[in-house]
Amino acid sequence: MIHTGETPSRVSVPDYAHLLPKEIQSFTMQGVYDSDSNQHLSFIQGSGHGGSHPHLVNEFLNALNENRAPFPKAKQSANITCVGILAHESALQGGVKLDMPEFTFN
């Protein structure tokens, strides 16, 4: 689902498992919980965030193996994470504006 304002709409999320090594392709769109009645939304949608988790892990391991920085890099990851944390904190405080920590700036 994507929310634009107050109106949710259903969207199709393509599966890019074919871009991963064969050994982990099956993990992009399947859950890990034990029954149909015990499913977490992130896994129903596909292994967390539309199936992105296997791709992120694959990129990180390839970067280690190739002795290069991964994408996203640490500062980009911190920035993305801080946005989510601050959005949640802002909501808990009634929508107050919160500034990003200095370490997230480029």
Band the pLDDT of 11: cuts 50, 70, 90: confident
Instruction: Residue 90: give the domain boundaries.
Output: 68-106
Q: Is residue 46 part of a domain?
A: no
Q: Is residue 78 part of a domain?
A: yes
pLDDT digits (tens, 9 = 90+) for 33-64: 545 665 665 555 545 566 778 888 899 999 99
Q: Is residue 81 part of a domain?
A: yes
What pLDDT, on the 0 to 100 scale, is given for residue 29?
A: 67
Percent above pLDDT 90 for the chain: 32
Q: Is residue 89 part of a domain?
A: yes
Q: Maximum Cα–Cα distance for the chain, whole Å?
A: 46
Q: Is residue 88 part of a domain?
A: yes
What is the spatial distance between Cα 37 and Cα 25, in angstroms, rounded to a whole number? 25
Q: Is residue 48 part of a domain?
A: no
What pLDDT, on the 0 to 100 scale, is given for residue 80?
A: 86
H helical segments located in 10-51: 41-44
Q: Which among 62, 24, 28, 26 is positioned nearest to 47, based on CA atoms?
A: 28
Task: Give the number of domains in the chain.
Answer: 1
